[in-house]
Amino acid sequence: MQAIWFLRAAALSCATGLFPSPAVGRGYVSRPSRYVVEYKPQLANDPTSTDENRQQVIDHLNQHNIPHDDVRPLDSAPDIFSGLSLGVHGKNPIKVLKKVSFIKDVYPVLPVSRPGLVQSTPVANNLVEGAKFDLFEPHVQVAISRLQDQGYKCSGINIAVIDTGCDCSHPALGEGFGKGFKIAKGYDFVGDSYNGTNKPMPDGNPCTTCALHGTHIMGVLAANDNQMGFKGVCPEATMSAYRVFGCREDTNDEVVAAALLRAYKDGAHVFSLSVGAPGGWSGRSLASVVASRIAQKRVVVVSAGNTGQEGMFFATSPSTGSGVLSVGSVQSSSLVSHLFTTSANNKTFHYFATFPLQAGTYPLYPISRRLKAIDDACKELPNSVPNLSGYVVLVRRSQTPNCTFPTQLANLLKKGTETILWVNNNSLPEYVAPDGSSGVSVGVITQTIGEYLRAQYFKASANLTITISTDLTITQVMAPDRGKVSSFSNYGPMFDFTTPTPSVLGVGGNVLSTYPVSAGSFAIASGTSISAPQVAGIAALILNVRGKDVPPSEVYSRIATSGTPVSNFSETKILESVCHQGSGLVNAWCAAFSETLVSPYSIALNDTINFNSTHSISIINKSQAAISYVVEHLPAGTALAFSANKFLPNPWPVPLTPDYASVSFSVKAFTIQPNETVKVEIRFQYPQGLNANELPVYSGFIRLRTSTECESHNLIYYGVAAAMKSRPVLDYGKSYQDNYTLPALDSGVTGLPVPENYVFTLKGHDFPVIEYRLAFGSPLLLFDLVAANTVLPKIPLDSAKNSFRKKHRRALSSSWLDYYLSLPTNLRVVEEEAGSAGTKPKSTSQLSRRNEDEGGLRLLNTTAPVDGFPGRLSDHFLGIQLLGSVRSYGSLKRWNPRHGVSESDAVTFNGSIYDTSHGVHNRTRAIPVPDGKYKILMRGLRVTGDPLVDSDYEAWLSPSFAIKRSVPLNNQNPTKPK
């Protein structure tokens, strides 16, 4: 990812977050070499069989000559998940592993990138250590302060933080680890040196001084009162820290899953998880599957993600998991600053910095004497400029296109600069992240203050001094973007509409919390990584108020339905889309003390093809008094996900229009008696007359309004006023870095496109590579080898019937298949089952939903549907003979999210193909193709499409290429497919 040097606290906040680094340009995604296998339930519940199962898996791999190593149990909570993980280095490991009778699923281990915090703008404060009332603005904003003022601080509640570990020595975090300390439990799964690919070195102590992210999150949740004048949401909770990252780089979802299971075993009541990867579909990853299962029994809160600039349909896993609470972010209503004083009239000003500048009195040195200069320090400084190590250097932000802050900084460093006051070109607060300042202390000031300092400097004949305060006390001042959805906060919805993402909003923009002592003890940061632990703390407060036996489903409903809708960023009266704010900003007080409960808390209306107009909600009154309600509709702005004639979605802020759904109710008002349940039927009609090419996403709130405090509720609804199946899957725009058009046929050697009829030797890295970028999600991507003279006919988009498929529905009759079937059985099928080869393909229903436990790669021995897909696929497409799949059935790319603007992905053809139309597809061998000329047909199944209907795919045909091996195939068949 490109470094983000500057951040406008008012609008442009952005966090690196905890997401895999995209494959950019030539950065192709490598195939996994590590897998997790899950045992079938009857074995998972038998702890005595664990060692025996492990040995059987090892013996099975040995029998098939499959190299393997580093076998680890994954069974600390067998009622949730039981299995093992291992490195496998042979061909088709999934297929081999699935042949073990007691294995239920096989999951590839996926990478998870290191979490990052955006260091936000500091400004001034009225907080006092030991104050009687909670005045910390992020708490006041969501009514945590009301609960703490009444004495609720999560005593007796166990909260698990799964992150980078924590600096347990921090005075505000209890100064220790283990029984009797605030952080009482935990585990280090990886060790300091782990980078996501090497062998982890676990131990029982999760404490580390390199845990910037985890220490900040721990403080949000549980910090004691301190000299900065704030405390965590749950200062009396018993905390657990589970370290899943080393000091640098990344981890994987196997480690995250292991941490979830360990925390569950250790008795955590609430889980805070700031981990994510591109998703968009439920149950896509191992971590998502495990989190979803735990969420049925314990409260699991997950950050929604920090890539809001990518626009709609960018939900992340595991926040997409069934039952988990996905949390987005709003900006804090106040900012925090530090102070400096000038020798001119002793005037005091605010400056914005992640950490305070070094205290002391320094002479000021404006780097340019020109009044209206726009290029301060953009060139190497002249000899007349002195050594600047003893000065506070005043530098104006460059307004020239080729001069950025790193350019200015490089020139200033040559003169020994140690401290900078960087003058913004507007009145908005801003900061420079510490990792972007090369060790130089940088404070940011507004344009007005900068102009004043310059004027006073020249007025005082260059004798102006700056005194940096030694007082750590900060001041809270009103933020210009207070309460708005943070620009970095991810948009939904999911492609299968299973879970609202985000579900709710917490305060995640510009939040003060703890930091490792060696890194300054306290810092201000932004991200959904910050709002998620705040909401996890609110969940713990609910358990504190109502008892630890409250089921997770009730906790989720309480938090969601008590939310307050948020207006859009542009200050108009249109409410922000539900797919960016969920149920709105949480209200901890009402979530805890409401005596009425509503279900469900969200209604997914799907697209126009799968639209369901009628839904019902239920409300139960657990209070001792009757409550009267009025039922209202609060529409949110309809978000235009795409611009017409553009492939990739609109970036933040996604444009909103006042085109609303029509909503009617079976009753408009009612009174509910104590212990009574009332049902309300709701009828929806999606907005009409909108441009389907813009994929309009409409949404809003159903409000149950009453005058009784905390008994009003907001339920969300959302849908798409177009057919999702009409949205193109492939992006045909330019690559991110190298300025060529995607999709592309690349060389595995250079990572760049090759000309027509390029010859591949299949030696070393000299393989054909299909590079592509998805503009929209796809349930299934297929890559098939076809003859070099193949021409792709026009696909009859949105056709309900497909004459091509009817005409060419010959399951096992083709020139390539004849060649395949002519091979000896031992060359094409392993243990072929009698009678299965002639079985006809089964149809499948539209893929609009899928089960949460279907996250693994299911490989069946029959033609029964697999993970919502048919057990076999056709060997024709629009009359084109498919010679064979580049990928085996088990490794087909299912449930694909869309890519970001800087991302791409790739599939390599290694010279062998698979027959995915065969009835025993998981037992078919890879067949090397003869040398010759070919093309590769890429197909993307459209959202809600049927995998057996050709018109439900979007297709792209590669340029022709040749295979000419440096070493000829043994017994190469001279007859090439026609």
- As annotated, the active-site residues are 163, 213, 529
Q: How far apart are CA 84 and CA 100, in angstroms?
A: 13
| C-beta of residue 228 within 8 angstroms of C-beta of residue 472 | yes
Token digits for 234?
């749950």
Q: Tell me which residue has tokens 């992150």.
A: 163
Q: How far apart are CA 899 and CA 198, in angstroms?
A: 27
Report CA torsion sign: 383, 389, 390, 394: positive
Q: Which residues contact 268 (CB under 8 A, 6 or more apart)?
A: 158, 159, 160, 240, 298
Q: How far apart are CA 501 and CA 718, in angstroms?
A: 11
Q: Classify residue 328 by its DSSP letter.
A: E
Four-point Cα dihedral 872, 878, 880, 886, nearest 10: -40
* Strand stretches in 158-257, DSSP E: 158-163, 183-188, 238-243, 251-252
Of 85, 222, 201, nearest to 154 by C-alpha is: 222
Of 75, 35, 76, nearest to 53 by C-alpha is: 75
Q: How far apart are CA 477 and CA 163, in angstroms?
A: 31
Q: How far apart are CA 181 and CA 517, in angstroms?
A: 18
Token digits for 540?
């713990």
Q: How far apart are CA 736 and CA 916, in angstroms?
A: 33
- The CA–CA distances, whole Å, from 869 to 97, 405, 806 equal 20, 52, 19
Q: Identify the H or E element spanning 84.
A: strand 81-88
Of 571, 557, 559, 561, nearest to 483 by C-alpha is: 571
Token digits for 572?
């108009």
Q: Which residues contact 911 (CB under 8 A, 6 or more apart)?
A: 762, 767, 928, 929, 963, 965
Of 56, 85, 89, nearest to 70 by C-alpha is: 85
DSSP SS3 for 455: helix
| C-beta of residue 181 within 8 angstroms of C-beta of residue 168 | yes
| C-beta of residue 197 within 8 angstroms of C-beta of residue 191 | no
Q: How far apart are CA 484 and CA 571, in angstroms?
A: 9
Q: Identify the H or E element spanning 453.
A: helix 447-459
| C-beta of residue 145 within 8 angstroms of C-beta of residue 554 | no
Degrees to nearest 5, angle at CA 103 with 97 and 107: 65
Degrees to nearest 5, angle at CA 747 with 742 and 748: 110
Four-point Cα dihedral 927, 928, 929, 931, nearest 10: -170
Token digits for 472?
């750590």
Render 691-722 in DSSP notation, one character per residue: -GGG-EEEEEEEEEE-SSTT--EEEEEEEESS
| C-beta of residue 587 within 8 angstroms of C-beta of residue 614 | no
Q: Tell me which residue has tokens 């250079």.
A: 750
Token digits for 629?
């309600």
Burial grade of 860 (CB within 10 A; 0-12, 13-18, 19 or more) = middle
Helices (H) and strands (E) in the chain, counts: 17, 52
DSSP SS3 for 313: coil
At residue 742, what is the residue type? L
